Structure 1
Amino acid sequence: MVTSVLIVGATRGLGASLTKLYSSKPSTIVFATTRSSDPPSSHDSNNKKVNWLVDIDIASPDVGRKLTSQLPSSSKLSTVIISAGYFGSETFDNPDWEKELKMYATSAIGPVFIVHHLVNAGHLTQGSKIILVSSESGSITLRHEKEGGGNYGHHASKAALNMVGKLLSLDLKEKGVAVGLVHPGFMRTEMTRNVGFDKYWDDGGAVTPDEAAESLASFIEDFDLSRTGQYWAPRGPRDIGTAEVVLGKGLPTPLQLPW
């Protein structure tokens, strides 16, 4: 059976690893987005199988229209993974207006317009899955004094994304489209390095994007309408610093996260 997967934010980190993973599967057609006006060059033979959608900026008001205009009109997507992200670090002493706007647009506004256009264009139908890449940082319950405050835009935009996912799940349930929110894991990426989180990689159990992609893809295989609107950590509590403090010991993998 041939399946079609769309990965939004496919050139770096988790998105790039997911693109590599899915394009290695012989029966999977992969559509992937880049903000560049040209597809990325690659010597990876699997990457030659990727159908690149160019000039796609999730923080742009016309992202949904631009994306759907490049998809074949007859394509039916089995899975959409919105992995695009932006993390601008802040402190209480130095909040940043423009960074916060970009984080909210990227995490919680753009996905609404992408899903809206995909549904209206007929690309999402009964049995389709939408996976919104969130973070444990968006859980209000898991915030604990041991981790302190700051990074308002990052944490709050992920909490907003969680609400967006819940609302989308309610709107799309009758159409048979399942929507999931996921914390894919604490990753060793340029994004986390750029905000100084690389100093926590070893103690925090950070994994490579390839490792996170494997566990996420496995989780998606079993994800269906029975779990729509739920918030999960496919890799369990192992890299969530406050999980045991807040939720107790002996937590399962995968772990359903509290809002």
Structure 2
Amino acid sequence: MTNILILGATRGLGASLRTLYSSKPDTHVFATSRSSNPEPSQGVTWLTGIDVAQPDAGQKLVSQLSSTKISTAIITAGYFGLETFDSPDWEKQIKMYTTSAIGPVFVVQKLVKAGLLDQGSKVILVSSESGSITLRHEKEGGGNFGHHASKAALNMVGKLLSLDLKPKDIAVGLVHPGFMRTEMTKGVGFDKYWDDGGAITPDEAAERLASFIEKFDINKTGEFWAPGGPGDIGTAEDVLGKNLPTPLQLPW
């Protein structure tokens, strides 16, 4: 039996990954929810009261998982608080950094120390191309400091974790899952870019990501990838050139 752990499994990409993996034979999904009463799903064990932005998230995970070994842990939990230069938001930035770049360190550390992630396991951290300093281009402008910078911080976190965990044969990957048609992007007004920006559904993103994860191994640990290629990355050709491959390894 393959055990998949999905953190942030109630909506968006996390929900689509939960549905996809739970439909596969010989696969069981452990899905996290911040609430205490998520809807039951076949092939899914809910781990409740888990908020990646809280310091006890890792310990709560370990206590609910007991001795269950995890093949792949996917951290999709995220928060996007819209900001501009004229209206930066302290509290939003704290929440974005805590959710994206601080929480994952403590979650992964607890899972490894408890022996639930061990030799051959994979850790997938859902980042964003917006966290690539190299890809940031003047045509997209500034602003959204907390969101973009917290993703850049997550990329460093993933790189550092990969160095710590490589001797244990645990592979750590950073991924840009694609520009998605979700309530999160709609909530910050990005739905106006969906069509021109090639936004995909969470289900499409989940299919791409699952295919990538299946082939991902220790040889790519610590790397940053776009499983769907350059299609929805507006600055890819400006910065990296034309005829780019899919999947596309992204620069820091």
2:193 aligned with 1:194: no
CA RMSD of superposed structures (Å): 0.6
1:35-74 alignment runs, 5 A limit = 35-38=34-37, 40-41=38-39, 47-73=41-67
What is the TM-score of this pair, normalised by structure 2?
Answer: 0.99
Q: Distance in 2 between matches of 1:246 and 1:176?
A: 33
1:90-129 alignment runs, 5 A limit = 90-129=83-122
Q: Distance in 2 between matches of 1:237 and 1:155?
A: 18
Q: Distance in 1 between matches of 2:43 and 2:247?
A: 31
Give, in angstroms, the shift of residue 72 of structure 1.
Answer: 2.6
Structure 2 gaps, min length 5: none
Instruction: State the match for 1:13 in structure 2.
Output: 12
Q: Aligned residues, how many?
A: 252
Q: Distance in 1 between matches of 2:27 and 2:42?
A: 13
Segments of 4+ in structure 1 off by > 6 A? none
What is the SS of the residue equivalent to 1:48? coil
What is the SS of the residue equivalent to 2:42? helix
1:219-234 alignment runs, 5 A limit = 219-234=212-227
Report the AA paired with residue 257 of structure 1. L
Instruction: State the match for 1:248 in structure 2.
Output: 241
Q: Indicate the percent of aligned positions where both proteins have the same amino acid.
A: 77
Q: Distance in 2 between matches of 1:54 and 1:238?
A: 36
Q: Distance in 1 between matches of 2:165 and 2:118?
A: 9
1:100-179 alignment runs, 5 A limit = 100-179=93-172
What is the TM-score of this pair, normalised by structure 1?
Answer: 0.96
What do residues 149-203 of structure 1 show as CA deviations (whole Å, max 9, x unaligned)?
A: 0000000000000000000000000000000000000000000000000000000
